[in-house]
Chains A and B, each alone.
Chain A
C-alpha cells in the first residue's frame, strides 16, 4: 500500500527533526546559550537566502525547457565578474565608454526588442534612447556603486545568457534531451576555461563598501549576536523577485506563452506561440537572476574566481530538486533548507563538519525517495 505523503506532511517531519536536534543540543551543551542559538539561526538564514536566489534561476530554465542548465553556475560567475569590472574600471575613457555602450547597448537592444515584441520603430526608439544614454552615462563619468554595477551586470549577463542559448541550445531544439544535457555540460566547461584565460586563473578580491557586508550586531543578555547587511537585503530581494516572477508568469501574455511552452512546446507552437522567443526570454530572465545572485554572493564572501560558479551551481541544483524542480517557491524553500543543513551540521556535529555536503545530499536522496517530485513540486501542475 502506498501512503500518500503530502507537502505539508514532509515539511512537518523536516521541521520536527530540526527542532528535536536543536533542543537536544541546547540541553546537552551548557554553553549553547540563547545568543548562540540565534546566531546559528541567522547564519543559516543568510546562507540559505543566497542559495535560494541562485536556485530561482536554475529552476526557471528547467521549468520551461526541461533542461538542467549546468552552465547556470558559470552565468552566475560571469555576473559577478561583470559587476567587478563595472566597479573597478569605471569611469572609462569616453571613447571606450562609447564603444562599450554601443556594443553592450546594441546587443541588449537587439535582444530585448525581439524578446518583448517591441519591433515597431517607435517602440524601438523609445527603448534605445534611455538604454544607450543610460549605459553611457553610467560607464563614462564616475566610479560606479554596487547597485549601478549590479544593474549593468544584469544587462550584460542577460545578453550573454541569450547568446549562450542561441549558440549552444537552439541548434539542438527537438534533439533528444541527453544531447542538450551534454551541451550544457560542455557550455559549463567552456565558460570555466574561457574565464581562466580571459580573467586570469587567480582569486580576485571583491570587497566594495556596501550595505551588504556592513557588520551589524545586537545584544541578547551579556552576549553579542553578529550579522551583516546580506541578511537584511538578500531575503528581501529574493522575496521581491519571487513575487515579480510569479506575477509575470501568471498574469502577463508572455507569461502565459511561457506556461504553454512548459506544458507542451509543440502544441504551443501550433497555437501561435513563438517557442524560440519564449525560451530565449527564459534564459534572459534566468541569467538576470544569476547575475543578481552572483554579485550578492561575491560581495558576501569577498572574492571572485573563474571556478566560483561550480559549487554554488551544484548546490543550487540540489536546492531546486529538493524544492521540486521547476517550482519557484520550491527553489526558495530548497535553498533555505540547504543553508540550514550546512550550518546546523557544523553546529550540531562539529566533528562531522567535513561531511556537511554528504548530509545535504543524503537529504536530497531521502526527499526524492519519498517525494520524487520534490517538496512542493506536483506531478500534474505545470512547472514554470
Chain B
C-alpha cells in the first residue's frame, strides 16, 4: 500500500522521460527513499540522476532509470528486487544500507542480474555472488581506521561502544571497531539498542561507572539524534565518534547543538581525494550537480551523491565496453574494470570480490550552531590501501 503510493509517484517521472519503444536499456534503482534512511536515499538518487543526465545514452540506446522505493525495509527491498527481475532490467543500483542490500542481492544473484550497492559497507554483501558489486569501502577498514584514530590520535583508554543489534551494518562495524580498539590496548564496553529506540537513558546510566574517554556510535540518525541529545543532557561531555551512517542531515537537523563536535568516518568528499586528477573530476561533477539541482543546499552534496553517481557510471561503462546488453558479458566487463576514472576516485574491480580497490575514507567533524546553521568540516582522508 505504502509502497504502491510512493513507487507510483516516483516512477511516473522517470517513465515519462524515457522512450518505451526499442532502443532503451532499463536500469533498476532500489533505494531507501522513505522511512528511516530517506535523506541518504534522496541524496544517492540525486547523484544517480545527475550522472544519468551527464551520460543518458550508451551503445546507441537510451538509459531508462526505473526507481523503486524500498521504504528502508527488508521486505520492501525484496519486493523491489523481484520487480526488477520481472521487468528484466540489466542491472540494479542500490540499496544504500547493508540490511536492505543483502536480501536484494540474494534474489538478483540467483536471477543473474548485476547489482551495485552504492554504500553498503558490510564485507558480506559482495560475497553473496559474482554479480554483486559495491561502490564503497568495507567496514573492516572503516572500523579499523576509526579505532586507530580514537586510540592513537585521541589517546582514549576506555571506550563505550553503542551498536544497533538488529542492523547488519551497525552490528558488524561495532565488532570491527571493538576488535581493533582492544588490540591497540583500550578497554571497551558495548551497549545495545534496536531500531526505533528513542530512550537511551538506561544504556547511558550503564556506562556511567565505566567512565569512558570516548564514545563510539555505529548507528544511524533516527536513533543518533535522540542519543546525542540525551548523552549531553545526562552530563556526558566526552568526544563522540560515528560512522558513515550519520553522514546525514537528519542528524544535525534533528539534534541541533547536541550534535556539535561529533566526528565521523565517511565516503570522501572531493577535497579529501588525494589523486589530483580524480579531485578535478569530483569538483567538476559537484559543479554540474548544483547546476542540475538548483534547489539543492550545500549539505545535500556529500559522499553518497558521489557513490550514487559512480555506481551509475561504472555500470554504463561496462555496458559500453561489453557493447551488448547480454548480462553475462556486461558482468564480465564490470569485473575486469581497471582504473575507471570515477568522480569518487579511480574504480578498480579487477581481482576483487566486487569491492573497489583503494577507496578513500574521510574523517569529518560536525559544527552545529543551530538546526538550520551547521556544516561539516573535512579533517583528513585515509586510503584503504594504507590499512594493513
Q: Which residues of A contact B (CB under 8 A)?
A: 31-33, 36, 39-40, 43, 46-47, 189, 192-193, 196-197, 201-205, 207, 213, 215, 217, 224, 226, 228, 301-303, 305, 307, 311, 342-347, 350-351, 353-354, 357
Q: Please name the residue on chain B nearest to A217 by beta carbon.
A: B235
A and B contact pairs by CB, cutoff 8 A, 14 listed: A31-B209, A33-B209, A36-B205, A39-B201, A43-B202, A43-B205, A203-B222, A207-B256, A207-B371, A302-B226, A302-B258, A343-B202, A350-B191, A354-B193
CB of B233 within 8 A of CB of A354, answer no
CB of A202 within 8 A of CB of B202, answer no
Question: How far apart sit A83 and B371, CA to CA, in the bound complex (Å)?
Answer: 17
CB of B253 within 8 A of CB of A205, answer yes
CB of B2 within 8 A of CB of A192, answer yes
Q: Please name the residue on chain A nearest to B229 by beta carbon.
A: A302
Q: Chain A's nearest CB lies how many Å from the CB of B245? A: 13
In this complex, how many residues of chain B approach chain A with their Cβ under 8 Å: the count is: 43
> Which one of B209, B235, B255 lies within 8 Å of A36 (CB-CB)?
B209
Q: Chain A's nearest CB lies how many Å from the CB of B35? A: 7
Q: Chain A's nearest CB lies how many Å from the CB of B126? A: 27
Q: Which residues of B contact A (CB under 8 A)?
A: 1-2, 5-6, 9, 33-36, 38-39, 165-166, 191-194, 196, 198-199, 201-203, 205-206, 208-209, 221-222, 225-226, 229, 232-235, 250, 253-256, 258, 371
Q: Which residues of B contact A354 (CB under 8 A)?
A: 165-166, 192-194
CB of B202 within 8 A of CB of A347, answer yes
> Which one of A207, A226, A228, A351 lies within 8 Å of B255 (CB-CB)?
A207
Question: How far apart sit A344 and B199, CA to CA, in the bound complex (Å)?
Answer: 12
Question: How far apart sit A228 and B253, CA to CA, in the bound complex (Å)?
Answer: 21
CB of B255 within 8 A of CB of A302, answer yes
Q: Which residues of B contact A40 (CB under 8 A)?
A: 202, 205
Q: Is the interface of B mostly helix, strand, loop or mixed?
A: helix
CB of A353 within 8 A of CB of B202, answer yes
Q: Which residues of B contact A305 (CB under 8 A)?
A: 222
Question: How far apart sit A39 and B203, CA to CA, in the bound complex (Å)?
Answer: 11
CB of A215 within 8 A of CB of B34, answer no
CB of B2 within 8 A of CB of A189, answer yes
Q: Which residues of B contact A302 (CB under 8 A)?
A: 225-226, 229, 254-256, 258
CB of A228 within 8 A of CB of B203, answer no
Q: Chain B's nearest CB lies how many Å from the CB of A192? A: 7
Q: Chain B's nearest CB lies how many Å from the CB of A46? A: 7
Q: A43-B201, A43-B205 are in contact. Are A215 and B233 (CB under 8 A)?
A: yes
Q: Which residues of A contact B234 (CB under 8 A)?
A: 226
Q: A350-B191, A353-B193 are in contact. Are A204 and B34 (CB under 8 A)?
A: no
Q: Which residues of A contact B209 (CB under 8 A)?
A: 31-33, 36
